[in-house]
Amino acid sequence: MDLHIRKFMMLSMMVLLTACTGMPSTVQPINQFELNRYLGQWYEVARLDHSFERGLDNVSAFYSINKDGSVKVVNRGWNREDNEWSEAEGKAKFVDTPDIAHLKVSFFGPFYGSYVVYYLEDDYSVALVSGYNLDYFWLLSRTPTLPQEALDNYIQKANKAGFDTDSLIFPKQDKAQIKKND
């Protein structure tokens, strides 16, 4: 293979990988982030549509530490069509340092996507999370639902950051179907 083609392919791959772990210019990751306080159960209150979550309700994420120091990510949701739980397990690592809430998450081998906590309540009860661009947004809470006034406030923050809040999906959180993590 020609040296110029190889260089071009390597550069293209580097750009692609950087783009997937980048972030929108309208968000900045939380500084002084404390991973230990973020670990545990989170419920998805709102999200933008993605094929990997389409049709899921009762969506939750559970974060814990792997033996190698990375973050174990277990996402679960109730698939209404199949009438069964859907689960994905992944691994997250910090992009820079552990005190900056910019992680890269992989559910498929060596391919990573951005996970940027750009808003976080002081008590770690609610988080606004972005992917590498404005097509990826999640509103997570330690509780399955939020009071309407609080929800409106978080949606306004997402809108101000440039997310298409008119397209948000609000998955049902039927407590009878929330599956507890092991």
Identify the CATH number of the domain in which residue 51 sits. 2.40.128.20
Residue 156 lies in a domain: yes
Confidence of residue 109 (pLDDT cuts 50, 70, 90): confident
Pairwise pLDDT comparison (9 vs 109), residue with the higher score: 109
Residue 182 lies in a domain: no
Residues 21 and 143: beta-carbon distance below 8 Å: no
Q: What is the pLDDT of residue 82?
A: 92
pLDDT tens for each residue of 141-157: 999 999 999 999 999 99
Q: What is the pLDDT of residue 59?
A: 96
Look up the pTM and report it. 0.86
- Give CA–CA dist 134/175, Å, rounded: 30
Helices (H), 21-147: 35-38
Confidence of residue 175 (pLDDT cuts 50, 70, 90): low
Distance (Å) of CA 26 to CA 70, 159, 174, 175: 27, 11, 33, 34
pLDDT beyond 70 at 168 = yes
Residue 133 lies in a domain: yes
CA geometry: angle 58, 64, 68, nearest 5 deg? 140
Q: Which domain holds residue 45?
A: 3-177
Residue 24 lies in a domain: yes
pLDDT beyond 50 at 45 = yes
Residue 132 lies in a domain: yes
Residue 31 lies in a domain: yes
Residue 147 lies in a domain: yes
Q: What is the pLDDT of residue 12?
A: 32
Q: Count of domains in the chain?
A: 1
DSSP 135: T
**What are the structure tokens assigned to 30, written together?**
């939380």
Residue 71 lies in a domain: yes
